[in-house]
């Protein structure tokens, strides 16, 4: 039976699930503060973030009987987070605000921080925004806050970029997870293949037992 039904459902221990869940909490908070609650964008962003979390969990449970379904659902999770990442990019672009470059030190700083809760992310955003605002007031601001008119707008810009970073982390983790699942599916097959092997093994054992009794 252990060979027939592999271990499954341990999604809470997956780093991809943990980051996706954090991203969901951050997105709910972000949309509640910076996106009109009556807009479709609000609902779409929250639902895309939720879809990422739910599909990782569902795929993990489905792996008990279908590696193929696990692979499909994990890919759906990744696609949902890509949709969410584009929403954050649109939020910044439509306001003329800067999307942090891939080599921006703030990206690496947030990744290294390994925040576990939305509160920790919010605290980091606040620290970064306040530091940049102070530098801007002192005449040392860079391109990132040229179009910012208030510190509240700077909070919004920094929060959107932070969420965009988390999207990238989640997608990278899911990309590696999908590759591992594809290899497992190739090597182990699905439930049908495992059932065939179990039945074949049972027939061989029965044949051997019958032969030994006859002798």
Lowest average pLDDT, out of 11-25, 52-66, 109-123, 170-184, goes to 52-66
Residue 1 pLDDT > 50, yes or no?
A: no
Structure tokens at 44: 């779409």
Residue 197's pLDDT is what?
Answer: 58
Domain for residue 111, yes or no? yes
Lowest average pLDDT, out of 3-7, 10-14, 78-82, 103-107, goes to 3-7
Residue 149 pLDDT > 90, yes or no?
A: no
Domain for residue 53, yes or no? yes
Residue 147 pLDDT > 60, yes or no?
A: no
End-to-end CA distance of the chain: 31
Residue 68's pLDDT is what?
Answer: 83
Domain for residue 172, yes or no? yes
- The DSSP output letter for 37 is T
Structure tokens at 214: 């006859």
Of residues 40 and 183, more confidence is placed in: 40
Containing structural domain, residue 139 = 11-194
Domain for residue 43, yes or no? yes
Domain for residue 206, yes or no? no
Structure tokens at 168: 């990238």
Residue 9's pLDDT is what?
Answer: 47
Domain for residue 178, yes or no? yes
Domain for residue 201, yes or no? no
- The predicted-structure confidence for 188-215, as pLDDT tens digits, reads as follows 655 555 545 555 665 666 665 665 555 5
Domain for residue 107, yes or no? yes
Total number of domains constituting the chain: 1
In this prediction, residues 77-86 reach a mean pLDDT of 98
Q: How far is CA 185 from CA 6, 57, 68, 156, 191, in A?
A: 12, 18, 7, 42, 10
User: What pTM did the predictor assign?
Assistant: 0.80
């Amino acid at each position: 039976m252990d060979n027939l039904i592999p271990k499954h459902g341990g999604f809470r221990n997956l780093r991809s699930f943990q980051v996706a869940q954090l991203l969901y909490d951050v997105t709910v908070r972000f949309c509640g503060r910076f996106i009109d609650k009556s807009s479709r964008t609000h609902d779409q962003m929250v639902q895309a973030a939720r879809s990422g979390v739910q599909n990782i969990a569902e795929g993990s449970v489905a792996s008990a009987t279908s590696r193929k379904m696990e692979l499909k659902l994990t890919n759906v999770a990744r696609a949902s987070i890509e949709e969410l990442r584009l929403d954050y990019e649109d939020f910044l672009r439509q306001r003329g605000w800067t999307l942090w470059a891939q080599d921006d030190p703030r990206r690496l700083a947030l990744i290294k921080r390994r925040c576990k809760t939305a509160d920790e992310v919010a605290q980091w955003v606040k620290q970064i925004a306040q530091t940049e605002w102070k530098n801007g007031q002192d005449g040392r601001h860079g391109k990132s806050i040229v179009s910012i008119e208030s510190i509240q707008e700077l909070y919004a810009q920094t929060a959107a970029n932070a969420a965009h970073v988390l999207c990238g982390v989640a997608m990278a983790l899911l990309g590696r997870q999908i590759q591992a699942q594809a290899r497992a599916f190739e090597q182990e097959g699905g439930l049908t293949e495992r059932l065939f092997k179990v039945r074949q093994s049972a027939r061989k054992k029965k044949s051997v037992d019958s032969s030994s009794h006859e002798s």
